[in-house]
Amino acid sequence: MPAYKRILLKLSGEALMGDDAYGINRATIVRMVREVQEVTKLGCEVAVVIGGGNIFRGVAGGSVGMDRATADYMGMLATVMNSLALADTMRQEGMTARVMSAIAIDQVVEPYVRPKALQYLEEGKVVVFAAGTGNPFFTTDTAAALRGAEIGAEVVLKATKVDGVYTADPKKDPTATRYSKISFDEAISRNLQVLDATAFALCRDQKLPIKVFSIFKEGALKRVVMGEDEGTLVHV
């Protein structure tokens, strides 16, 4: 029996690159989709938010000197591309997925309409929320927190490049150690950066726990959904 009936899964956009320099790595996206498929087979309702860092990151690199809001809209459009790729890969793997966008691009994807998203989830379809929150100055982590709260997900699962929340950024501090769980208040007071502050604050206010785990570790998503010890739980 899965530990959760309905989850909001946030997939790192950057991780989609696999070992490539940018874009979508075929083997990586197929592997991610199969892991999602496994948990849907357990009877868990799955909504997904995917980032866009593999295609465009509004706050860095090529956007130097650009108007921040414009760069952020480009970032949101990158998440639409990833969402379409993800949903199409799901279709190829025999799943039914629907993409809903926070920005109106009606010829390409349907707009986000909450009751419709809830209906899809009840029907067992995977819903992919594209274009983040639809607003610049936010991230897809915040979109995950927002949509997670809206659809009544029991948990936000952040599948990322690290296997949990550490005492410090493990990419910079090799002596950092991983928490198996940590409260929101402690994570915020220690200024731990795995999720942005807006997403953290929203989840804390809504009493929506977050689980941080590795997107690279095979079977990790299933273990998380089964309530096994994996990654870090950020709790109220």
Ligand X SMILES: O=c1ccn([C@@H]2O[C@H](COP(=O)(O)OP(=O)(O)O)[C@@H](O)[C@H]2O)c(=O)[nH]1
Please answer whether residues 9 and 121 qualify as being in contact, where contact means their C-beta atoms are separated by less than 8 angstroms. no
Give dist(CA 138, CA 135) in Å, integer.
Answer: 6
The CB-of-108 to ligand X minimum distance in angstroms stands at 17
Region from 107-115, 146-154, 157-165, 202-210 binding ligand ADP, contact rule CB under 6 A: 157-165
Region from 93-101, 129-137, 174-182, 203-211 binding ligand X, contact rule CB under 6 A: 129-137
> Could you tell me if residue 177 is left (phi over 0), alpha (psi between -120 and 50 degrees) or otherwise beta?
beta
First to last CA, the chain: 24
Query: Is 119 an interacting residue with respect to ligand ADP (CB under 6 A)?
Result: no
User: Which residue's CB is nearer to ligand X, number 5 or number 68?
Assistant: 68
The residue written with tokens 């977050």 in the block is 210
Region from 78-86, 110-118, 147-155, 161-169 binding ligand ADP, contact rule CB under 6 A: 161-169
Query: Is 120 an interacting residue with respect to ligand ADP (CB under 6 A)?
Result: no
Which residues are paired to 9 by β-bridges?
48, 157
Give dist(CA 132, CA 120) in Å, integer.
Answer: 19
Binding to ligand X (CB under 6 A): which residues in 11-50? 12-14
Residues that bind ligand ADP (CB under 6 A): 12, 14, 51, 53, 141, 160-162, 165-166, 168-171, 192-194
